[in-house]
Amino acid sequence: MRVATYNINNVVARLPQLRAWLEVTKPDVVCLQELKCVESNFPYEELAALGYEALVQGQKTWNGVAILARGFTPLEIRRQLPGDAADKQSRYLEAAVNGIVVACLYLPNGNPWPGPKFDYKMAWFDRLHSHASTLIRSGHPVVLAGDFNVVPTDDDIYSPASWKDNALLQPEPRAAFGKLMKQGWTDALKPKRGQATPYTYWSYLRNRWPRDAGLRIDHLLVSKALLPRLVSAGVDKAARGLEGASDHAPAWIELDHPA
């Protein structure tokens, strides 16, 4: 079973690229971020034609997340990250799919740093930490998948110096990511010793895709209960090279059947 995460950066404008990727790689579960559309504009029918059922938490113009499943119906668990009823941004969606808890998240970018948007990012991170703790302690097989908007270490970016004042590299979000990892999650895409970093995002600016000037900010965090089933992980770089592509590439994990 393949679980993927893809910041599609406007699901309506980029439906052709999404469709092309789904047809080639055929993931079983897909977490989408940055839909940038309300639920009534979501392309349910076009994705159903490819065999996918969708659970959608939309929002006009910004944010928006969805969970797609092929051959399974995603069973809704929650549509908001707990901890702040006043937060109306669509950045979290959680569902059970084929016995796995799938959490699709779009952590706030936090730029410009410092400022109120950065403060919102850190507050959101706190809420994620609390809820993720509940999830991992439940003992259920869980994957936290999405755009975390955090470059975990200097090895996860082509040039840390070029982004030193960016919210994605600040010590605070890096520490928050590290604190989250200490709950016992496994960063499935973290490169092993000597392996190249699998970037997942290349800004549209400054010719960064052709130069492979990338960042690793989309993550799949696997719970202890799910870890024995983790077979492999990777990034579908080809999707980033398509005409009119999102600035992110899809990342995925392959899971074995339960023992």
Partner DNA sequence: ATGCCCATTGCAAATGGA
Catalytic residues: 106, 147
Of residues 116 and 194, the one with the C-beta less far from DNA: 116
Q: Using CB under 7 A, which of the segments 60-68, 189-197, 221-229, 230-238 binds DNA?
A: 60-68
Report angle CA 194, 217, 143 to the nearest 5 degrees. 95
Three-state secondary structure of 109-127: CCCCCCCHHHHHHHHHHHH
48 part of the interface to DNA, by CB under 7 A = no
Partners of residue 65 on adjacent β-strands: 33, 57
- Minimum Å gap between C-beta 83 and DNA is 20
- Minimum Å gap between C-beta 101 and DNA is 25
82 part of the interface to DNA, by CB under 7 A = no
Of residues 9 and 197, the one with the C-beta less far from DNA: 9
204 part of the interface to DNA, by CB under 7 A = yes
Report angle CA 6, 238, 104 to the nearest 5 degrees. 10
Angle, to 10 degrees, between the axis of helix 171-181 and the axis of helix 116-137? Answer: 10
**Nearest Cα to 148, choosing from 88, 192, 194, 200?**
200
201 part of the interface to DNA, by CB under 7 A = yes
Are 33 and 93 in contact by the 8 Å Cβ rule? The answer is no
34 part of the interface to DNA, by CB under 7 A = yes
13 part of the interface to DNA, by CB under 7 A = yes
Sign of the four-CA dihedral 47, 53, 57, 63: negative
What is the rounded distance in angstroms from the CA atom of residue 189 to the CA atom of residue 197? 8
Site residues (CB under 7 A) for DNA, limited to 90-149:
108-109, 111-112, 117
- Minimum Å gap between C-beta 188 and DNA is 22
What is the rounded distance in angstroms from the CA atom of residue 197 to the CA atom of residue 233? 12
Q: Using CB under 7 A, which of the segments 64-72, 138-146, 188-196, 201-209 binds DNA?
A: 201-209
161 part of the interface to DNA, by CB under 7 A = no
What is the chain's percent helix, strand, coil content, to nearest 5?
Answer: 30, 25, 45
Q: Using CB under 7 A, which of the segments 8-16, 70-78, 182-190, 251-259 binds DNA?
A: 8-16
- Minimum Å gap between C-beta 10 and DNA is 5
- Minimum Å gap between C-beta 155 and DNA is 19
**Distances from the Cα of 32 to the Cαs of 6, 67, 70, 138, 160, in angstroms?**
5, 6, 14, 25, 27
Residues at the interface with DNA (CB under 7 A): 9-10, 12-14, 34, 36, 60-62, 108-109, 111-112, 117, 201, 203-206, 244, 247
